[in-house]
Copies of this chain bind each other. A is one copy, B any other.
């Protein structure tokens, strides 16, 4: 190839591997390396850009982190996408943070019962009619007392019997119990939020007028192979709860670790 024109400037401000990342990303975007094809092998890139293999690998690593390529030992570096999308991500250090407010709440256990899912419940739980579930009825109070913040109905598989006892102790986290009693890690949580007129049973628990404005939150906890481990149906009355999320732009930037001061 025309090695001369491909030389990476060593005097430029940006490190070489970052220049290389940008250059390769542009060539991928412009079709020189179509999606599905293989990038040239590392030795070839070293030669073309007159840099060491370490530099090439660092550059390709960034492409990899941006999802543009994937590497496979013995095969090569395959182009997976032609352009890095903007991606906004939100992260939680634990599912507990889904309900950050809950740090300052106490759980109260109200009761439990076995239920056979009728058609409406089955649809809500994404299961089949006639399935057996164990329903746990709970609510959360502020630690300083007062009216409940939320009415929570938690559905788990019947073999999770025994969770009730743990719940009665009062400061357990549903998702933790689900993992302990279900013997399986929660790999994904899905959440659906919407408005609702508070239904009668929740209204009684929460001490508000039936039909008054409320927030419903359904959470589905999934394990391996999208196995449904638990479903929680929550109702919050107006003014006692807000749900905050932060979405940050995930920089496909080269910066990696260096960035922020402490």
Q: Which residue from B71, B95, B214, B244 sits with its C-beta under 8 Å from A195? A: B214
Other 5 A-B pairs with CB < 8 A, given A87-B94, A196-B238, A215-B215: A70-B257, A70-B262, A78-B262, A85-B94, A194-B215
Contact with B along A89-129 (1 / 0, CB 8 A): 11111110010000000000000000000000000000000
Give the distance in Å from the alpha carbon of A191 to the alpha carbon of B186 in the complex. Answer: 25
Docked-complex contact B89 and A93, CB < 8 angstroms: no
| Residues in A26-49 with C-beta less than 8 Å from chain B | none
| Residues in A191-209 with C-beta less than 8 Å from chain B | 191-198
Give the distance in Å from the alpha carbon of A118 to the alpha carbon of B144 in the complex. Answer: 33
Docked-complex contact A243 and B193, CB < 8 angstroms: yes
Give the distance in Å from the alpha carbon of A32 to the alpha carbon of B251 in the complex. Answer: 33
Q: How far is the CB of A69 from chain B (nearest CB, A)?
A: 10
Docked-complex contact A195 and B237, CB < 8 angstroms: yes
Give the distance in Å from the alpha carbon of A238 to the alpha carbon of B195 in the complex. Answer: 5
Contact with B along A62-83 (1 / 0, CB 8 A): 0010000011110000100000
Question: Is A213 at the interface (CB under 8 A from chain B)?
Answer: yes
The chain B residue with its CB closest to the CB of A65 is B257
